[in-house]
Amino acid sequence: SKSILKKAFEILEGKEKDIAREIKNALYKQNFFGKCPKCGADLVLRKSRNGKRFIGCSNYPRCTTTYPLPQKGVVFFEGEYCECGAPKITIIYKGKKWKKCADPNCQN
């Protein structure tokens, strides 16, 4: 009803900056894939000009570290790194879940 909605707006009033900061932090965490093994900056989800997603160093263009991602399914970082230094990514696709090194050239 109107009174419930009015009360909700009263609670939120004046907290716009806090709410925006929390949303921004949540989105960043969702797109964070660990630390770059070459420069230590954040690895983040990126999209190429043709719309393909990949992991790229936030220190670009000074650092050009990138890793390809599967184009289907959900991918995220759970805090684990491979022996080679690259992040391990978790992939969920068609009801299956697995982890793998983000570096396709990794021998581990």
pLDDT for the residue numbered 31:
86
Q: Is 55 exposed, middle or buried (0-12, 13-18, 19+ CB in 10 A)?
A: buried
What's this model's pTM, rounded to 2 decimal places?
0.72
Write the DSSP assignment of 2-29 as a string of letters: HHHHHHHHHHHTT-HHHHHHHHHHHHHH
User: In whole angstroms, what is the distance from residue 27 CA to residue 76 CA?
Assistant: 12
**Residue indicated by tokens 């965490």:** 29
Q: Given this model, what pLDDT does residue 51 score?
A: 92
**In degrees rounded to 5, what are phi and psi of residue 47?**
-125, 135
Residue 36 region by backbone torsions, left for phi larger than 0, else alpha for psi between -120 and 50, else beta: beta
Q: Which of the four pLDDT bands, split at 50, 70 and 90, describes residue 28?
A: low
Q: Predicted confidence band at 69 (pLDDT cuts at 50, 70, 90)?
A: very high
Task: Tell me what the pLDDT averaged over the chain comes to.
Answer: 89
